[in-house]
Structure 1
Amino acid sequence: MHDLSQLRVSITGHVALLTLNAPPVNALTRILNDELTEALDRISELDEVRAVILTGDGKVFCAGADLKGRAETIKGPGDLPAHSRRTRECFHAIRECAKPVIAAVNGAALGSGLAMVASSDIIVASEKASLGLPEVDVGLLGGCRHAMRLFGHSRLRRMALTGLRVDGAELYRLGVAETCTTPENLLATAWEIANTIAAKSPVSTRMGKHTLNVIEDMSLRDGYRYEQDMTAQIGKTEDAREAQLAFKEKRAPVFKGR
């Protein structure tokens, strides 16, 4: 990765750690938006990376849209559609990243921050974490469709219409987050999950995530049929044969990603 100014990227073993670093509250500036999109696109094609952890530096995960920067960016015809496109493609870059993304939510994830979390595959939350849709207080909308992937009807509408924030303990109670940890244990928990994923066949996790994305909005019949077709494809890979042989020989598999 070349020099990034608002995103820190480090790769340890087979896991990439992406840390939002746009003080003071990691608002989604145009720079951060573009750097995150680029980093995820590159990671999709880096064979050495098998899982991703996404977190925020400081006390906030992401406080949402950069309203000041938005006003400076949107000045003439075409500026708003271009801004909107960049923003939604950032969220899609998380969802469509070929490698599973674990959101380690260290603090408030509001608006755009909530959309980032909802676009991830697995969510772990700190006791200091919260998810919210504050747009109602600044005359805007955004993030509700992403939030529908996480919350039920009444809770979502209460969040959208009142600005209610849902804390880490409640996220765990609702089944939105896998766990609610102390702030000190948040990254260790995310790393444990990431390393477990990284130990699996990278071709299986890549094709598995792709399949989960595709079947999400399908009917039961069509979705399961697609899943069966993808299972047949995975079963033809070298990694699948190695997994079955290792199981038979009662040893740890050695995957090549093919």
Structure 2
Amino acid sequence: MSSSKHTIRNRVSFMEQQIPAYAPILGILGILIVWEVACRLEIVPPLFLPAPSLILSAGWEMLSSGELHQNILASLYRIAVGYAIGAVCGIVFGLILGFSRWVDAILSPIVYSIYPIPKIALLPLIILWLGIGETPKFTMIALGVFFPVVINTFSGVKNVDPIWIKAAVTFGSSHFSVIRKVILPGALPMIFAGLKLAAGTSLLLLVAAEMIAAQQGVGSMILHYGNLMITTKLMVGVLILSILGLLFNRGLGWLERKLLPWK
């Protein structure tokens, strides 16, 4: 019996071991080393997949000329505005859906029927409605963010334990207080799940919109160098998108830890 308890304790201790902060870096470095060696040995033609050292050299050249930061700033501006609009509208609408059975019964079928439509397919129609400029790009990104946030917020509200709500009402909490102190905190984990899911979607739609209807931006830059078959500079754009995705995820994770310390 004692031996069994000791074995279980060892397994739990092993599972709770802290992962070193440098562990994720090891995986990235390993991939870069294998990638560089494969390119140096010409296992992969440089035109198809340039070595990381050549990509970094091209990135430094683009940074020195000012080309890179202009495209990054244009993309960051678009994604910041579109993401903020989509996230705020999605959270508010998801809370309304979760609180009102009438709104849920009337609008939920509409939300779930529009959600599977590829948003990029709507871009020509959005351009027709809103004209050529930044507004269609903001709208595309906002639509891509809106639906995952709405659905996750709605699910989060519905999954709040009814016992918590009954306990708050029993102790005399007002309707607004129950929403602010019980339902909203209880739904936050699902809301953040939706925000993280929407972050990847927003990058995807940003690139697609910039490739179709933009003169500046990371997506436009990738398309331009792809047409010229300058793959080193094309891969610089892909690397930037990867970094932006990582920063998005880390930033939302940090915000989640601050707002949900109990989680």
Under a length normalisation based on structure 1, what TM-score does the superposition of the two structures give? 0.25
Which structure's CA Rg is the greater one?
A: 2
Q: Which has the higher contact order (CA 8 A, sep 6+)?
A: 2
- Structure with the higher fraction of residues in helix conformation: 2
Under a length normalisation based on structure 2, what TM-score does the superposition of the two structures give? 0.24
